[in-house]
Chain A
């Protein structure tokens, strides 16, 4: 068999398996014919890995030849995607091979980045820590692997003991976290993707999965093409690709999703169509306090009913623009217990100054109506990044958190963490570090004006483009003496190019890794190809710095027995000097870190299996519980007796309940107007977001020629009538400006999506056209997540003065 025949055989095997899955809806692994990885002949070796991009967590098969990734196929053994991938997924291998990979450490000297050695680079990082440990912060990512995030977290919380670590996931799902915590007392969805296969109605609360989670969306649409009756309802502020597949597209005014949720709850209560038995058995009612807290204040059902009384369909229509008839239609659906309803949401509800509140309200509608816990009945948040759940929420890399759902503020949690890490009592501090916006604000100020963060080490993200209001939160530090920015990355991103020290990183299958996707699924992969030049694993970078600090005598680098904080032993029980790069892969560092981290996972019933179980699987959903026969069983539906082994009484048990009585909380939150709305000077709403071809700030996907060609630059999408009123043509370059900043963008009319009259949309994938110069840094009071979805802007033609 020659190479061409081999490629054809494998491609046909992958396509045949996928065709079987698409047609039958079942497991394509059962499809007749040859599996892609079993195809005879050829010099390509195949192994599994999760896709590098979004939080869906598809698995790919990676084909490697001669130390290079040469082919990608959907993994037909993977339950998430059953052999399918989206346009980004099947190009993921090319993300490694942009021609400008960073291959050497670089130090800024006289304004220019110049190559230095790794030894010098590690010394510089260690110097910065030794100079001022309290002012040293790590800014990480939901793209960190779990061991990378865990190591950085331990370095900061157990080693430097200043809690100054926060990830970019603060910007994408922090409100989902606070919503789960305030409703169930513990984070992450109760349901999983299986709900999408069973639901009769799927409601999109301000998200566009046809572009952002395309494989999940096709899982829904495929059911329809097989003749199943699935109703898709798109609650949105702009017409998107998702709208094109929906039976009902309900346009709402920005921020008014709270009023819609209250309108549905009002009708359920008013008509008596809520599920009284479910509510009586499993729920309490709650209202907000001032200042708001996750616990809130108890309220009775009668008080809840009275609070909702204002939200009549007509009143909600006035606030939201969604017709009273459609509000009634939504309430009819929730009032029907014969239907199974799944709600999905992502950034629309999370990037919201009332993010926690709207998350609470959507959970509340499901609880109130009893649409909870049966397969297909679920309120489910989706994440944008591949390991926002695994690395941020579970490994606890937020400024207030510890691994496994612990928080620094609780003495019993700190004590347990100190036990697991073998630290002297009191090492972990109770005061949370700064959340993302605050961390960067303090980095942007001189020390004598409250700027007490003087060094930030950024790993695996691009804050120069992804922070909101970058003119205020990112750029000032670059001109301030005494501020030092370290960036570990794979490409010369906007952040790397603004850094004082750049560390070249290995990416994806150039290193071992583990991710955790949106449905509590922990995934594992092995290194398959070498990184280019002197690029090295982020985890190694963190551990090598830790070792330098230990060698220099920084007290926090020792445990209570005086041993190095990260002591990893080989099979013979001998400590391995993995901080020396040539020795790093003498031992599986990921396995060692994961086995330590796993000890945290039991306390909040987020049990993880041993590392080697994940080697065999295409991911497992926690809690993963050992069975009497020694096998490990994952959990699909938490808090429900039919699947969750931790439910010991009743059909449902919320065993981490805020009220400590096994009940979930149904909250009332009023609608409040947004912090900034269009006015005479800035008459348009601005919404930002993604497109299917690109991921995050485009630093990887813009280097994949096929994706770059398909969507080469950012644009401002306008309604044709707004463009006509301004005298603006399709393709014309205009100025989009807010009170915080401006940029020039080409106009796209009648493009892929259509914004409502009076609003514009700009994607953030294009590093050259940074829309976050214009966005607001106003954030939710509990989650601290900023609102990227609504602020006021104006659009003007070039050469025409601002009014």
Chain B
């Protein structure tokens, strides 16, 4: 399980409202208090790969202008980099 802190920047158009509803409904996400068009949230994923895919999915969501990753936890990760 990986836990990441993200900030999602919403677009300034009608898509932002539907994006917000979608993010609220996603069980992998815990939303914080929005500050203007910036929405802090926590994303949980079974492993790092799924975490990366989740960020890409958020980036592709209509109404999302940008995703900044703020923190990651990798305590349960077994590094498998090439040697």
- Rounded to whole Å, the gap between the CB of A77 and the closest CB of chain B is 14
Q: Which residues of A contact B61 (CB under 8 A)?
A: none
One of A114-122, A166-174, A522-530, A701-709 at the interface: A701-709
A709 vs B56: C-alpha distance when bound (angstroms):
14
The answer on a CB contact under 8 Å between A703 and B74 is no
Taking CB atoms and an 8 Å cut-off, the chain B residues in 69-83 that contact chain A are 69-75, 77, 79-83
The answer on a CB contact under 8 Å between A705 and B80 is yes
Q: Which residues of B contact A349 (CB under 8 A)?
A: none
Q: Which residues of A contact B5 (CB under 8 A)?
A: 10-15, 18, 36, 73
Q: Which residues of B contact A4 (CB under 8 A)?
A: 1, 3
> In this complex, which of B35, B80, B81 has the most chain A Cβ atoms within 10 angstroms of its Cβ?
B81
Q: Which residues of A contact B34 (CB under 8 A)?
A: 19
The answer on a CB contact under 8 Å between A71 and B70 is no
B34's nearest neighbour on chain A, judged by CB, is A19
The answer on a CB contact under 8 Å between A24 and B35 is yes
The answer on a CB contact under 8 Å between B7 and A22 is yes
One of A88-96, A407-415, A585-593, A668-676 at the interface: A88-96
Q: Which residues of A contact B77 (CB under 8 A)?
A: 94, 705
Q: A74 an interface residue at 8 Å Cβ cutoff?
A: yes
Q: A22-B7, A705-B48 are in contact. Are A15 and B70 (CB under 8 A)?
A: yes
**Which residue of B9, B35, B40, B81 contacts A225 across the interface (Cβ within 8 Å)?**
B9
Q: A532 an interface residue at 8 Å Cβ cutoff?
A: no
Q: Which residues of B contact A760 (CB under 8 A)?
A: none
**Which residue of B36, B44, B49, B69 contacts A87 across the interface (Cβ within 8 Å)?**
B69
The answer on a CB contact under 8 Å between B52 and A15 is no
> In this complex, which of B1, B5, B6, B65 has the most chain A Cβ atoms within 10 angstroms of its Cβ?
B5
Q: B68 an interface residue at 8 Å Cβ cutoff?
A: yes
Q: How many B residues face the partner with a CB closer than 8 A?
A: 38
The answer on a CB contact under 8 Å between A703 and B70 is no
The answer on a CB contact under 8 Å between A98 and B40 is no
Q: A72-B71, A73-B71, A708-B82 are in contact. Are A23 and B32 (CB under 8 A)?
A: no
The answer on a CB contact under 8 Å between A706 and B70 is no
A98 vs B36: C-alpha distance when bound (angstroms):
40
**Which residue of B70, B79, B82 contacts A84 across the interface (Cβ within 8 Å)?**
B70
The answer on a CB contact under 8 Å between B9 and A22 is yes
Taking CB atoms and an 8 Å cut-off, the chain A residues in 17-40 that contact chain B are 18-20, 22-24, 31, 33, 36
Q: Which residues of B contact A218 (CB under 8 A)?
A: 68
A704 vs B82: C-alpha distance when bound (angstroms):
9
The answer on a CB contact under 8 Å between A71 and B52 is no
The answer on a CB contact under 8 Å between A23 and B73 is no
**Which residue of B1, B32, B33, B71 contacts A90 across the interface (Cβ within 8 Å)?**
B71
Residues 27-49 of B, flagged 1 when their CB comes within 8 A of A and 0 if not, give 00010111111111110100011
A97 vs B52: C-alpha distance when bound (angstroms):
19
Q: Which residues of A contact B32 (CB under 8 A)?
A: 12, 15-16, 19, 33
A31's nearest neighbour on chain B, judged by CB, is B35
The answer on a CB contact under 8 Å between B42 and A99 is no
A93 vs B74: C-alpha distance when bound (angstroms):
9
Residues 96-115 of A, flagged 1 when their CB comes within 8 A of B and 0 if not, give 01111000000000000000
The answer on a CB contact under 8 Å between A709 and B70 is no
Q: A74-B71, A87-B69, A100-B83 are in contact. Are A23 and B42 (CB under 8 A)?
A: no
A71 vs B4: C-alpha distance when bound (angstroms):
10
Residues 1-34 of B, flagged 1 when their CB comes within 8 A of A and 0 if not, give 1011111010000000000000000000010111
The answer on a CB contact under 8 Å between A12 and B68 is no
- Rounded to whole Å, the gap between the CB of A491 and the closest CB of chain B is 9
Residues 254-295 of A, flagged 1 when their CB comes within 8 A of B and 0 if not, give 000000000000000000000000000000000000000000
The answer on a CB contact under 8 Å between B72 and A12 is no
The answer on a CB contact under 8 Å between A705 and B81 is yes
- Rounded to whole Å, the gap between the CB of B39 and the closest CB of chain A is 7
- Rounded to whole Å, the gap between the CB of A280 and the closest CB of chain B is 47
The answer on a CB contact under 8 Å between B81 and A708 is yes
B52's nearest neighbour on chain A, judged by CB, is A706
- Rounded to whole Å, the gap between the CB of B44 and the closest CB of chain A is 8
The answer on a CB contact under 8 Å between A99 and B81 is yes
The answer on a CB contact under 8 Å between B70 and A14 is yes
> In this complex, which of A19, A22, A33, A94 has the most chain B Cβ atoms within 10 angstroms of its Cβ?
A19
The answer on a CB contact under 8 Å between A71 and B68 is no
Q: Which residues of B contact A90 (CB under 8 A)?
A: 69-72
The answer on a CB contact under 8 Å between B79 and A94 is yes
Q: A339 an interface residue at 8 Å Cβ cutoff?
A: no
The answer on a CB contact under 8 Å between A18 and B74 is no
Q: Which residues of A contact B48 (CB under 8 A)?
A: 705-706
A24 vs B74: C-alpha distance when bound (angstroms):
30
Q: Which residues of A contact B3 (CB under 8 A)?
A: 4, 7-8, 11
Taking CB atoms and an 8 Å cut-off, the chain A residues in 680-703 that contact chain B are 702-703
**Which residue of A12, A20, A65, A83 contacts B30 across the interface (Cβ within 8 Å)?**
A12
Given A11-B3, A14-B70, A19-B34, 11 other A-B residues pairs in contact with their CB atoms under 8 A: A4-B1, A11-B71, A19-B38, A20-B35, A74-B70, A83-B70, A87-B69, A90-B70, A94-B77, A98-B79, A705-B77
15 pairs, CB–CB < 8 Å, chain A vs chain B: A12-B5, A13-B5, A15-B5, A15-B42, A15-B71, A18-B5, A20-B38, A22-B7, A22-B68, A33-B33, A72-B74, A97-B79, A100-B83, A703-B82, A705-B77
- In the A-B complex, the 3 residue pairs with the smallest Cβ-Cβ separation, listed nearest first, are A70-B75, A11-B5, A15-B40
Q: Which A residues have a C-beta under 8 Å from some C-beta of B?
A: 4, 7-8, 10-16, 18-20, 22-24, 31, 33, 36, 63, 65, 68, 70-74, 83-85, 87, 90-91, 93-94, 97-100, 218, 225, 702-706, 708-710
